Amino acid sequence: MITALDHIAIAVPNFEAAIKRFMEDFGLPFEGTEDVLAAKTKTAFFPLPATSIELVHPLNGDGPIAKYIEKRGGGIHHLCFRSDNILEDVARLKAKGYEFLSDSPSPGAHDSQVIFIHPKSCDGVLIEINQPSKDH
């Protein structure tokens, strides 16, 4: 029985810069670092409340997910952070130099507003920011 999403791991080329990004730019609570000798890795954790796994699949055989699957066959596609003020967060991150895939948010699942940060601004990871609709 699966009970929770325990964590998502992102391989990062610059450990300190990535910690700073998740702490300062995304404002996540930083638990600290731990060296895992057996895995020859150092780790940093940012605990978050309950989340969802989203499975994404092309709707009509084309679009960005179709291209992704054609190229890689499937895989971890993006992380999505929830925002309570997406326009403010986008403006703040743009001011820090983050590039987005679109100029402004567009409709997402659950009547949310969503926007994606370009993977090149986040060590190759596609990050979505969403703001759920008020009645969801």
Binding site for Co ion (CB under 5 A): 54, 80, 128
Residue nearer to Co ion on the CB measure, 4 or 53: 53
Q: Which residue is nearest to Co ion (CB)?
A: 80
| Shortest reach from residue 22's CB to Co ion, in Å | 18
DSSP state of 29: P
| Shortest reach from residue 14's CB to Co ion, in Å | 25
CA 77 to chain centre: 9
Contacts of 14 (CB under 8 A, 6+ apart): 123
Residue nearer to Co ion on the CB measure, 59 or 95: 59
Nearest Cα residue to 36 out of 16, 9, 13: 9
Nearest Cα residue to 83 out of 114, 120, 117, 46: 114
| Shortest reach from residue 113's CB to Co ion, in Å | 12
127 in Cβ contact with 117 (< 8 Å): yes
Residue nearer to Co ion on the CB measure, 34 or 54: 54
| Shortest reach from residue 119's CB to Co ion, in Å | 14
Nearest Cα residue to 115 out of 69, 76, 80: 80
Residue nearer to Co ion on the CB measure, 17 or 109: 109
